[in-house]
Structure formats: structure tokens, C-alpha cells
Structure 1
Amino acid sequence: MTAPNDRDGLFDHIEPPRDAVPGSSAEPPAEPAVTPVIGHPEPVSAVTGQARHELGPLWREWPLLSCLVIFTAGIVVAGAGHWRRGAVLMGAAAVFAGVLRLVLPPKVAGLLQVRRRWFDVLAMLLGGIVMCVLSILVPPQQG
């Protein structure tokens, strides 16, 4: 018994692409999804008719960027010799990230979402609170 191949009629129901058939013309390209509207400052979706706000790829991640700015400020403060204040700032950044993950919809939360919402919120809040509490409770150096 031999194995079937392309010539046995198994693939006869598949049509070749239109541009592969000699003498046929391809269909005209479809209308773009976004069409400009005269006098409207933003592009408008051809499907919904609503304005679509286009931000750069970096600015779409504003929740993560805001948390990273606070965290980086904590690193700078800690590097300047105020480790306790810096650690509190870093913990506050984690708590802020947890609150943002809790209140923002998934489409806006962006890279703050790693796992399920409850896990992300719990991990960031718990980590931030522990960091803040430990930085406050560590006794100062004597001497």
C-alpha cells in the first residue's frame, strides 16, 4: 500500500490564489481601517466611527512608567545616603503599582499585568508594604 500524495486528488478542493492563476486580476485592496475625516484632529475608525487616540508605544505604558519613575527616585535617594527614605519610596512604588493594577482595566494596565489580577495586586501590595515596614522598623546605627 502506498501513501497518498498531492497527485491523488486529496487537495483538489483547494483553490490556488487569484494572483497565481494566469490571466486573472487580483481584487482591489480593501479600504484602510482608519480613514481621515476633514476637520477632525484625530484619525477616525472606519468601523466604529469613533476617534482613535494614537499614543506612542512608550506612552501607552504610562502606569508602568509612573511606577518606575517613583522606584528610580527611591534608588537615587538611597544612593545619596538616605537608604531608609529610598527604601520607603521603592516600597511606595510597589504599592502604587498594586493599586493601579487593581483599579485599571487590563487594556490600560499594560505591562503591570503579569498573572491574574488578584495575584498581581496581592504580590505588589504585599511586597511594597513589607519593604516600607521593614525600612521603618530597622533600628538606626548606634555610634
Structure 2
Amino acid sequence: MNTRAGSHRAAASSRWAAAAERRLMPASWLRAVFRQWPLLLVLAVIAVGTVIVADNHFRRGTFIIAGGICLAVVLRAVLPSGIAGLLKVRSRAIDLLTLGFLGAGTLIASLIVPPPS
């Protein structure tokens, strides 16, 4: 009876080890990252805006950052929850309201900041 339990434990252990190895493979990790394409797209737009702000073009860069946040609103509104990935934090309404306020506030800030003199 003990040998049977030991072999069962070993089989279960090797099954778990094999599953863990599959999860850590680079191909599956890359697939998991690329499934988050909506968030990656938004982050890319925001990164471009940040680089432009760092290049001493505050209004233009902040406007692009606001565009990235507004893109997140549109993607969250249009995409189903399974595809929205990490853009889905709470319910759709809460996500849209939060991102909408953040995008609108950033857009207003980019428009009312006076140009450098």
C-alpha cells in the first residue's frame, strides 16, 4: 500500500513539475505578454509622449499622453473583458469613468498650460 501511495505522489509531483516548466517557457511567456496588446499599445503611446515631454515640448507631449489615456478609454469600452486584459481593473463603468476623468484632466492640463516665453 505504501509503494502505491509513493508512486502516486511521484507521478503527481512530476505532473506538477512538468506543468511548471511549461508555464515558464519563453514561448508561453511571450504569448502571455502579447495577449496584453491593448495595455502595451496604450503604454507605447504614453512612452512616446513622455519622451517628447523630456525633449522639452511639454504641451505636445502632454497632449500625446492624454491621447494615450483616451485610447485606453476607447479600448476598454470597445473590447470584450477577456481581450481587454490588464485594462480591465474593476467593472467596465468604473474603468471608463476613472480613465475618462484622468484623460480629460490631462487633456485640459495640456491645453491650458501657457507656452514658454
Q: Deviations over 1:30-66 (max 9, x none)?
A: xxxxxxxxxxxxxxxxxxxxxxxx8711100000000
**Once the two structures are superposed, what CA deviation does each residue of 1:53-89 show, in whole Å capped at 9, x if it has no partner?**
x871110000000000000000000000101111011
Task: Give the aligned length.
Answer: 98
Does the Cα contact within 8 Å between 1:73 and 1:89 map onto a contact in 2?
yes
In the aligned structure 1, how far is the partner of 2:32 from the partner of 2:44?
17
Q: Distance in 2 between matches of 1:85 and 1:135?
A: 8
What does the per-residue CA deviation read over 1:88-130, in whole Å, with 9 as the maximum and x for residues that have no partner? Answer: 1111111110111111111100000111110101111121111
Residue identity in the other structure for 1:20 = A
Q: How high is the TM-score relative to the length of structure 1? A: 0.61
Structure with greater contact order relative to length (CA < 8 Å, sep ≥ 6): 2
Do structure 1's residue 95 and structure 2's residue 70 form an aligned pair?
yes
Percent of aligned positions that are identical: 38
Q: Identify unmatched segments of 5+ residues in structure 2.
A: 9-27
Residue 5 of structure 2, aligned match among 4, 11, 20 = 20
- Which residue of structure 2 lines up, in the alignment, with residue 110 of structure 1? 85
| Structure 1 residue 137 displacement after superposition | 1.2
Give the counterpart letter for 1:106 in structure 2. Answer: S
| Runs of at least 4 residues off by over 3 Å | none
- The alignment's C-alpha RMSD in Å is 2.4
Q: 79-88 vs 129-138, which deviates more?
A: 129-138
- Using the size of structure 2 for normalisation, the TM-score is 0.73
Q: Which has the larger radius of gyration?
A: 1
Equivalents in 2 of 1:141, 1:59: separation in Å? 40
In 2, the alpha carbon distance for the partners of 1:87 and 1:57 equals 30
Q: How does 1:14-53 map to 2 (within 5 A)?
A: 19-20=4-5
